[in-house]
């Protein structure tokens, strides 16, 4: 057996044959590595996943009438939208707002092209179905809760048409929309239904557009359309991109903080465990010194044990961390997590580094042990 | 030639004169016993001779070298080259086998050599216990592993502080026989003991009292 083998034999046996104490430290390191790898994998993957979610989040530009009291010509809006390259225009939805009485109560009703709305507002959660046939409506969730109306129910709708006459129609509730936003307070129907009942076809109050473009491109588009097209004011919907970046940076800061706290706790746990181990093994240290070990040799042994502990705990934690991030990803985003191959390696290296650093104070203590104590029989 | 020479060696802890003005010498190949009541300074003297502690004053010559004023790391080097230590509490490393415990001394000294370590165990009659952990060995067997470990690097001087203090009579006999054989082979041995029977087999006995050498008895 060479000296190197003897060295590994000693540090390995010291861990393996003294399980209970080392198990605590090993678990601490493993938990630290789990959280570290899990969180960094999630924070690495989240921008991609969230980016996709947010891109689905819908409209990032709206057209409103230049004159507050006027209506928008849908045809004009379509022409204005030609400024956007066809392959990056995901959807374009005109909205027309009116008021109507339904079962004798007044509500805001919205005429909409549902085919386009699905593209510009993919976050709508529908209970039942989107309106397909004539005279079907989609009820905002707040109204549904209040009126206790459910999909399939028939209602009576009356309102004032553009020419001053009253219209009246029986409508069927095809579904209920729930967004947590203003949509919950509206009743939606097909734009062509609304036009047939209320007249004044081809107009809207607002047009929502969803374009696959970066912030710079969107800005350029907005100023181009504003310059070129009369009667329409294009605006960027900042809410989405803005909240995307703030949400992400807040999430990342949180993850960084949690990781730092967990690593600090791991370090403290390893340091106290190793300190206890050193105190328990003072006789052994004294003996080794009496047999001729110098301070460097003693230090190398404890650091070696620490590194072994760090590597073992780190490897265990990497496996657990992978499953943790996978579970989170599948539950939150419905997709498998992807992480670069070197993440687990880094997690193990970080565990080794943290453990080695945590071992320094105990190692210092170990080198201070006097060999004379072995004869004193303390 | 003398393997060890103490000249006016004192060790003072505050007001306690653990060892005071001790002067003596040990010839090469001699077997010396040290006796004295508890607290008389026996272990203090062993620690100084064994390069594990430094005297407050006085000079210690070990194998012709003055070790009284060396640094801790210089003492470590001399200790591992010249001293073999045997303890009352054996001090085997609990997680290493008997063989590995012997090899630890080789490891810190120079190079491990399993074959040689095995031979050392054979010399104390423990070759069939080489793979056992200390807790699987009797007290006497543990002490013999400790002796094998002390001998493995061919020390100039063997120091044993109450090597039979924790052993029954049968094991005490075995250990004394090992010492007799070592003595016969020319080893220099210093044994601290409370047991007159153990002291008797040595060439000479030094008595300590309150840190002073009070009496020296030649046994043969
Ligand atoms: N580190 C120390 N600090 C202070 N006093 C000490 C120290 N070490 C030993 N002493 C004192 O020195 C004296 C001699 O102690 P020593 O251990 O040498 O006695 P001993 O002869 O080996 O006793 P025993 O037979 O009980 O082992 C004792 O009074 C002891 O209390
Ligand atoms: Mg003593």
Residues of A in contact with B133 (CB under 8 A): 17
Q: Tell me, using a 6 A CB cutoff, whether residue B193 lines ligand 1.
A: no
pTM as predicted: 0.70
| Cβ neighbourhood burial of A195 (10 Å; 0-12, 13-18, 19+) | middle
State which residue of chain A sits closest to B153, comparing Cα positions: A291
| Cβ neighbourhood burial of B3 (10 Å; 0-12, 13-18, 19+) | buried
Domains and CATH numbers, chain B: 2-218 (3.40.50.300)
**CA distances (Å), A154 to each of A135, B22, B152, in order?**
10, 115, 101
Q: Tell me, using a 6 A CB cutoff, whether residue B38 lines ligand 1.
A: yes
Torsion of CA B134, B137, B138, B141, to 10 degrees: -90
Ligand nearest the Cα of residue B45 is 1
- In sequence order, the 6+-apart residues with CB closer than 8 A to the CB of A223 are none
| Cβ neighbourhood burial of B15 (10 Å; 0-12, 13-18, 19+) | exposed
Ligand nearest the Cα of residue B34 is 1
Q: What is the pLDDT of residues A112-134, one digit of tens each?
A: 999 999 888 887 889 999 999 99
**DSSP letter, residue B90:** -
ipTM here: 0.93
**Each residue's pLDDT expressed in tens, for chain A with a length of 378 residues:** 688 999 998 988 888 877 777 888 889 899 999 999 988 888 887 766 665 555 556 778 889 898 877 888 898 889 888 888 888 888 899 999 999 998 888 999 999 999 999 888 887 889 999 999 999 999 999 999 999 999 999 999 999 998 889 999 999 999 999 887 788 999 999 999 999 999 889 999 999 988 877 777 888 888 888 888 888 888 887 655 556 667 777 888 888 898 889 889 989 988 998 898 888 889 999 999 999 999 999 999 999 999 999 999 999 999 999 999 889 888 877 778 888 889 999 999 999 999 999 999 999 999 999 998 888 865
How high is the pLDDT of residue A53?
A: 56
- Estimate the crossing angle of helix A342-367 against helix A19-55, to 10 degrees: 150
How high is the pLDDT of residue A123?
A: 78
**Distance from C-alpha of A261 to C-alpha of A253, rounded to nearest angstrom:** 12
B15, B17, B40: residue to mutate for ligand 1 pocket, most atoms within 8 A of CB: B40
**Distance from C-alpha of A41 to C-alpha of A38, rounded to nearest angstrom:** 5
CB contact under 8 A, B91 and A372: no
A370, A371, A376: residue to mutate for ligand 1 pocket, most atoms within 8 A of CB: A376
Contacts 24+ apart (CB under 8 A), B212-220: B212/B20, B212/B21, B212/B22, B212/B41, B213/B22, B213/B23, B213/B24, B214/B36, B216/B24
Q: What is the pLDDT of residues B74-123, one digit of tens each?
A: 999 999 999 999 998 889 999 999 999 999 999 999 999 999 999 999 99
Distance A254 CA to ligand 2 centre (A): 59
Say how many Å lie between the first and final Cα of chain A, rounded. Answer: 33
The two tokens of residue B31 are 């077997």
């Amino acid at each position: 057996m060479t000296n190197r083998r003897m060295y590994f034999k000693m540090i390995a046996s010291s861990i393996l044959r003294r399980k209970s104490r080392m198990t605590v430290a090993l678990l601490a390191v493993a938990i630290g590595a789990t959280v570290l790898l899990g969180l960094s994998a999630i924070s690495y993957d989240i921008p991609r996943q969230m980016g996709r979610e947010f891109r689905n989040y819908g409209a990032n530009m709206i057209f409103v009438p230049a004159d507050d009291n006027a209506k928008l010509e849908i045809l004009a809006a379509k022409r204005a939208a030609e400024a956007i390259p066809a392959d990056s225009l995901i959807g374009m939805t005109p909205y027309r707002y009116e008021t109507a009485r339904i079962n004798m109560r007044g509500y805001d009703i919205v005429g909409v092209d549902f085919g386009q709305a699905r593209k510009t507002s993919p976050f709508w959660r529908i209970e039942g179905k989107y309106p397909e046939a004539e005279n079907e409506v989609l009820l905002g969730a707040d109204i549904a809760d209040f009126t206790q109306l459910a999909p399939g129910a028939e209602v009576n709708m009356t309102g004032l048409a553009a020419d001053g006459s009253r219209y009246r129609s029986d409508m069927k509730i095809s579904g209920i929309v729930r967004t947590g936003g203003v949509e919950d307070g509206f009743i939606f129907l097909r734009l062509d239904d609304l036009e047939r009942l209320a007249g004044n076809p081809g107009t809207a109050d607002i047009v929502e557009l969803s374009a696959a473009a970066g912030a710079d491109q969107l800005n350029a588009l907005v100023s181009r359309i504003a310059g070129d097209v009369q009667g329409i004011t294009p605006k960027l919907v900042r809410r989405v991109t803005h909240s995307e970046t703030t949400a992400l940076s807040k999430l990342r800061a949180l993850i960084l903080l949690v990781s730092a706290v967990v690593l600090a706790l791991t370090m403290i746990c390893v340091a106290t465990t190793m300190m206890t181990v050193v105190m328990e093994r003072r006789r052994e240290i004294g003996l080794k010194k009496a047999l001729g070990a110098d301070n460097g040799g003693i230090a190398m042994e404890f650091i070696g044990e620490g590194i072994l502990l760090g590597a073992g705990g780190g490897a265990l934690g990497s496996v657990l961390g992978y499953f943790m991030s996978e579970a989170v990803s599948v539950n939150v985003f419905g997709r498998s997590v992807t992480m670069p191959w070197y993440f687990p390696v880094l997690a193990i290296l970080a565990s080794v580094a943290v453990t080695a650093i945590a071992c320094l104070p105990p190692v210092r203590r170990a080198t201070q042990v006097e060999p004379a104590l072995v004869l004193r029989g303390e | 030639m003398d393997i060890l020479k103490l000249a006016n060696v004192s060790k003072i802890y505050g007001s306690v004169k653990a060892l005071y003005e001790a002067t003596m010498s040990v010839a090469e190949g001699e077997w010396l016993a040290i006796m004295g009541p508890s607290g008389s300074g026996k272990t203090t003297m062993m620690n100084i001779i064994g390069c594990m502690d430094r005297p407050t004053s006085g000079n210690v010559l070990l194998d012709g070298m003055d070790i009284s004023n060396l640094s801790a790391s210089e003492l470590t080097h001399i200790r591992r080259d010249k001293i073999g230590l045997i303890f009352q509490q054996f001090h085997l490393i609990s997680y290493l086998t008997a063989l590995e415990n012997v090899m630890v001394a080789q490891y810190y000294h120079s190079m491990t050599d399993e074959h040689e370590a095995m031979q050392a165990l054979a010399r104390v009659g423990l070759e069939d216990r080489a793979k056992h952990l200390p807790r699987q060995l009797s007290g006497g067997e543990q002490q013999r592993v400790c002796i094998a470990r002390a001998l493995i690097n061919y020390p100039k001087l063997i120091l044993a502080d109450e090597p039979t203090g924790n052993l029954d009579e049968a094991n005490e006999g075995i250990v004394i026989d090992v010492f007799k054989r070592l003595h016969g082979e020319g080893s220099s041995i210093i044994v601290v003991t409370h047991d007159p029977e153990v002291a008797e087999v040595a060439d000479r006995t030094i008595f300590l009292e309150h840190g002073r050498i009070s009496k020296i008895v030649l046994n043969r």
